[in-house]
Structure 1
Amino acid sequence: MFIQWIANLLRMLPNKAARTSTIQKQKVKKRVDVLVDTSIAPTAVTYYEPLHSPYKKLPVYINLHGGAFIMYDKEMDDPYCRYLANMTGCAVINVEYAKAPEHPFPSPIVQVYEVLEWVKSHAEHLNIDPAKWMIGGQSSGANIAAALCLYLKDQEEPQPLLQVLSCAMLDFVTPFSEKPEPDKWRSKYPQFAHFLNLCYVPEKGQEAHPYASPVLAESVQGVAETVMITAEFDAFKPEAEAYAKKLKKAGVPVHHHVFEDCYHLFTHIGPTEAATEAWDTIASHIRKVAAQSAPTFKKISS
């Protein structure tokens, strides 16, 4: 009861990342809101179709927003989903995954997997190529994306063409007090981060599960090609670096981009120049893998 009360209180705080956008909102050919039935909860998703595309059947990128597993919603990523759609010629699916503590680990992973199955089963209606899908997210969303790829590996199911992990939180085992938090107040009072962690992994031992802490996975061989976007001054930088190193050692293609003088979730809160470069970088990687075994792709003008 107490945990639920605190979580609800935190959700009332303003979302700085949603108040402004580092990317100007663009028009798209189509934006459609859909409610997908999953075993976890009815799941709101938004489908974005680009203004122009060289593909008859669109590749698709699935986006998972940030919010420490308990807060925010997919609308904070609306400008970026529009941008990625237009800059890559791909469809984008923006997912409103269920939040902790009501839906703790591993509920969002199961939910996103079922959304993926829905996307594939509705490929004809959505005008997408179900074999050409990618996934990515920011912060907690990046954690869920990484976990899904590990889950697919364990189930021997096809990997996405690409996973994009931006400012990823990948380690629940290391206490937040031992992470290099640059903010003096969060560093002085790590209890806040510990509370957020408790919401998502409330049961003893869950924090060490590789789907909760992908950096602890024993084997990552065979997971998807990875784009890692890291801020120089981010408490989660060491775990992102460790995961990138583990992936590379396993033979996974990794493109690790570290943005100097930037902080956690800089892609949404700025500085604008660095954020724009980060989104351009993500779009460039999506374009490249989407164009594999496809007709020559010409960059879409914004």
Structure 2
Amino acid sequence: MFTSVIAKLLRHLPNKALKTPMVPLQNIKMKKDVLIETSVQRTPISLYYPLKANQEKLPVYLNFHGGAFIMNNKEMDDPYCRFLCNQAECVVLNIDYVKAPEHRFPKPIEQGYEIIQWLKSRAEELKIDMGKLMVGGQSSGANIAAALCLYLEEKGDNQPLLQVLSCPMLDFVTPHADKPEPDRWRSRYPQVANFINMCYLSEKEHAGHPLASPVFAKVTDRLAPALILNAEHDAFKPEAECYAEKLKAAGVDVQYELYNDCYHAFTHLGPKERAEEAWALIARKMKEVIKA
């Protein structure tokens, strides 16, 4: 009850990332809003189709927005989905996944998996090529994207062509007080981060579960290639570095990029020049794996 009340209050805080997008709002061929039935909850999604695309069937990228597992919605990523859609010449599927504490771990991961199955069943109708699936997200959304790749491996399903993890939160085991938090208020009050953990994880033992904390997963070279974007001044920097090294050691193709003088969620909050560089890199990497 307590966590639910506080989470609802936090959702009313202004979302700074909505005020000034880091990339210009682009025109696209079409934005299609759909409600998908899943066992978790009816899920709103938006499908973005690029202005220019030569293929009859297009690659598809699943986007998971950030928000500490408890807040924000898919519309915060509208400018970025439009940008990636046009620049990478693919369909971008933007997901309004369920939030904690109403829907705790592993519900968003299961929801993502069911959305992939839904896409498979409607690939012809949606004009997408499920052999060219990619996934990605920011912060908590990056956690879900990484976990979804691990979940697909558990299920014996095909891996995406690429997983894009931007400023990923990947470790629930290490107390936030032991992470290199640059923000003096969050550093002084690590119990705020602990509250978020309580919202997402219903049981303490879930913290070390590989789908909650991918840094503790047993990874193999079958996992999707990864593009990992990290910020120099980010409490989650060590866990992103750790996961990148873990994937590399297992034989996974990893491109790791550290953005100096940047903070958590810089892709959405700036500095603008570095954010633009990051989004351009993501789009280039997507095109690269699509054409490989």
TM-score by length of 1: 0.96
State the partner residue of 2:61: 61
Residue number in structure 2 paired with 1:188? 188
Structure-1 separation of matches of 2:218 and 2:126: 37
Q: Distance in 2 between matches of 1:71 and 1:18?
A: 13
Q: How many residue pairs align between the two structures?
A: 292
Q: Using the aligned pairs only, state the percent identity.
A: 58
Match of 1:32?
A: 32
Alpha-carbon distance in structure 1 between the residues aligned to 2:193 and 2:247: 27
* Structure 1 residue identity aligned to 2:15: N
The CA distance in 1 between the partners of 2:50 and 2:218, in whole Å, is: 39
CA displacement at 1:218 relative to structure 2: 2.2
Partner of 1:266: 266
- Could you tell me which residue of structure 2 aligns to residue 253 of structure 1? 253
Partner of 2:95: 95
User: CA–CA distance in 1 between the matches of 2:152 and 2:86?
Assistant: 28
Superposition pairs of residues 96-245 of structure 1, within 5 angstroms: 96-245=96-245
**Aligned 8 A contact 1:98 1:108 in 2:** yes
Q: Which runs of 4+ in 1 moved over 2 A?
A: 218-221
Q: CA deviation at 1:120?
A: 1.4
Match for 2:176: what amino acid?
Answer: F
- Could you give the per-residue CA deviations for residues 129-184 of structure 1, whole angstroms, max 9, x where no partner exists? 11111000000000000001011112211000000000000000000000000000
Q: Secondary structure of the equivalent of 2:44? A: strand
Partner of 1:298: none
- The residue type paired with residue 144 of structure 2 is I
Contact 1:220/1:246, CA 8 A, preserved across alignment: no
How big is the shift at 1:18? Answer: 1.3
Secondary structure in 2 aligned to 1:278? helix
Q: String of CA shifts for 1:171-204, please: whole Å, max 9, x gaps.
A: 0000000000000000000011000011001212
Q: Which amino acid letter does the alignment assign opposite residue 99 of structure 2? A: K
Does residue 1:9 correspond to 2:16, yes or no? no
Q: Unmatched 5+ residue regions in structure 1?
A: 293-302
CA distance in 1, matches of 2:141, 2:201: 15
Match of 1:82 in 2: 82
| Letter in structure 2 aligned against 1:41 | Q
Letter in 2 for 1:290: I
Task: State how far apart, in whole Å, the 1-side matches of 2:168 and 2:182 are.
Answer: 16
Is 2:265 the partner of 1:278?
no
Counterpart code for 2:272: T
User: What are the superposed Cα offsets for residues 24-59 of structure 1, whole Å, 9 maximum, x if unpaired?
Assistant: 100000001000000000000000000001322100
The separation in 2 between residues aligned to 1:93 and 1:225, in whole angstroms, is 19
Gaps of 5+ in 2: none
Counterpart secondary structure, 1:5: helix
- Is the CA contact 1:64–1:141 (under 8 Å) kept in the aligned structure 2? yes
Q: CA deviation at 1:3?
A: 1.0
